[in-house]
Amino acid sequence: MVTKVDRLVYNRRMIASSRNRPGQRSARERILLTAHDLFYREGIRATGVDRLIAESGVAKLTFYRHFASKNNLVQAYLTHRHDTWMTWFTQTLAQHQPRRGPAWKALPPTLAEWFDQPAFRGCAFINAAVELGAALPEVAVACREHKVAMTGVIATLLPPSRWRQRQAGTVACAVDGAIVRAQLDASGKNAVDALERLLDAVLG
């Protein structure tokens, strides 16, 4: 049986730094995990290459051997974040599935766990789209693909119908709104409560 403590440990692994054993990680992994922490916590534009090199503990030549430019690293960061977050999302939804009632009821408590994490800084893809979407088309593409994948998972929580995909898109937009609200508030509770009321009204 998966306990709440187990889920919180998993969340911390998903969001927080994984650089606790640098000697056992390759240079590329150290660079990528450092970028993940700094890009998500402080922003992509605010994080310079020199700081990434210093905090990942690699030489400048080593950095550029693995990532020809910061833009290449940004793309790798988004790929890593997508894979890690989607794994967490699907697993945590499964853990919150109600024994009775509609499957979408798992969505609010899943998001509540995420919003409650000290490292929560909103959606990495919304943040990246705002920072770089207009300047780097490949970033905009990665962000759209992430949201398509998230919407696909949400669709599996809804009852089969001819409007299932459309409903999933509506719910996904509401989820994005809740993420932004949670990022602005001191607590994610208001965002989760508002999302749950909206889903009750729309999906019954």
> Is residue 36 domain-resident?
no
DSSP state letters, 132-158: HTTT-HHHHHHHHHHHHHHHHHHHTTS
Average pLDDT of the residues of the chain: 89
> Is residue 76 domain-resident?
yes
Whole-number pLDDT of residue 23: 54
Mean pLDDT of 128-146: 94
Looking at the structure of the chain, the number of domains it has is 1
> Is residue 54 domain-resident?
no
> Is residue 89 domain-resident?
yes
Question: What CATH number did the domain enclosing 135 receive?
Answer: 1.10.357.10
Residue 134: CB partners within 8 Å, gap ≥ 6? 140
Q: Residue 88: helix, strand or coil by DSSP?
A: helix
- For the stretch 71-86, pLDDT in tens is 999 999 999 999 999 9
